Amino acid sequence: MEQARQTDLAVFIQGLPKVELHLHIEGSLEPELMFELARRNGVTLPYDSVEEIRAAYQFANLQEFLDLYYQGMAVLRTRQDFHDLTRAYLERVAQDNVRHVEIFFDPQGHTERGVPFTDVIEGILDALAEGERDLGISSGLVLSILRHLPEEDALKTLEAALPYRDRLLGLGLDSSEVGHPPSKFIRVFEKARDLGLKVMAHAGEEGPPAYLWEALDLLKVDRVDHGNRSLEDPALVARLVTEGMTLTVCPLSNLKLRVVNDLTKHPLKSMLDLGLKVTVNSDDPSYFGGTIGENYRAVAQALDLGRDDLAQLARNGIEGAFSTPERKAALLDELNAHLTTS
């Protein structure tokens, strides 16, 4: 009986039309492709096999992950590499019935290695256009600022992106959170808002609630990435609920980076019950052990989520997207059709 219920739920989850709002394209680099690109580009990796790479993916905190993440991205050198990376991600999530994605890229991680900004962004945009054409996955691209670097670097990066203004959805903020508060980036976020970009920031992953307040009040973010630590501050939760702010939560990431010790202790269900607009996302799927679909399946099991919770998570993803009203309405129709037929 229990087995039948689980199978039923797995089928229900598979058919949910999903939206991924928190995905670092460089974090979707699977070890197999990492090896292939290393060979293609004559880059030496400090590993002998795919198994050795996977075994190295054990992290005590965010920084330990970031050290390997920046090391891994060194195999990405050409426009073709960025295309192949993005295409591989889209083909994988098409299997999860992902219908729309808004993905981050970290240009500073590439330009500081001598890779031209144009090659990075053109390669990604090529693959996103193909994903729309071949897989029916709509998308947006978010330029993410590395917060451990000075704001001057961020301003120069935004400047380099100006010719692509119309093909960018937004500006994000990622990398080492503690010690690099949102207040460090007031000017670059103001500039992005003036350009009409959507703005978002990683906040409250490892950083305190004060960083979330800063993201809201100083950066005036349209969306919050992670936001787990908002739960420590009831006034902050009230504000996020009142504003209908979307939080892009990443359960398997939180487990791998020890933001939570055990998935059964993950705050996702409490966040839903408080009325926060939480969504499910994979963050860096190749490092954290699962796509968005695997994140849905893992939390459904660990937190004993039912169909209503899962449907609400999928709905929050659609509503939290920065897509056109027409696309969002079409995705809501897909969701409603799934709910009435399964």
Q: Which residues are catalytic?
A: 205
Residue 205 near which of ligand ADE, Zn ion, none (CB within 5-8 Å, type-dependent): ligand ADE
Torsion of CA 170, 24, 242, 186, to 10 degrees: -50
C-alpha separations of 176 from 54, 104, 179 in Å: 22, 16, 8
- Minimum CB distance to Zn ion, residue 169 (Å): 16
> Minimum CB separation from ligand ADE for residue 226, in Å?
7
What's the CA gap between 289 and 286, in Å, rounded? 6
The entry of Zn ion, ligand ADE, none near residue 62 (CB within 5 to 8 angstroms by kind) is ligand ADE
- Nearer to ligand ADE (CB atom), residue 18 or residue 256: 256
Question: At closest approach, how far in Å is the CB of 201 from ligand ADE?
Answer: 10
The residue (of 84 and 174) whose beta carbon lies closer to ligand ADE is: 174
- Token pair listed for 139: 């998308």
Which of the listed partners (Zn ion, ligand ADE, none) does 72 bind, with a CB threshold of 5 to 8 Å by partner kind? Answer: none
CA–CA separation, 18 vs 74, rounded Å? Answer: 30
Q: Which does residue 138 touch among Zn ion, ligand ADE, none (CB within 5 to 8 A, set by kind)?
A: none
Burial 269-303 (b: 16+ CB within 10 A, else e): bebbebebbbbbbbbbbbbbbbbbbbbbbbbbebb
Reference 247, options 279, 270, 200; nearest CA is 279
Give the bridge partners for 110, in sequence order.
none
Least Å from the CB of residue 112 to ligand ADE: 15
CB of 14 to ligand ADE, least distance (A): 26
Select 64 or 126, whichever has its Cβ closest to ligand ADE.
64
Interacting residue with Zn ion among 76, 283, 297, 314 (CB under 5 A): 283
With respect to ligand ADE, which residue has the nearer C-beta, 157 or 175? 175
Q: Tell whether residue 214 is a contact of Zn ion (CB under 5 A).
A: no
Q: Which does 27 bind (CB under 5 to 8 A by kind): Zn ion, ligand ADE, none?
A: ligand ADE
Residue written as token pair 């399946």:
297
Q: For binding to ligand ADE (CB under 6 A), which residues are involved? A: 24, 27, 62, 69, 174-175, 202, 205, 253, 283-284
- Closer by beta carbon to ligand ADE, 12 or else 59: 59
- Which residues of the shown chain bind Zn ion in the complex (CB under 5 A)? 283
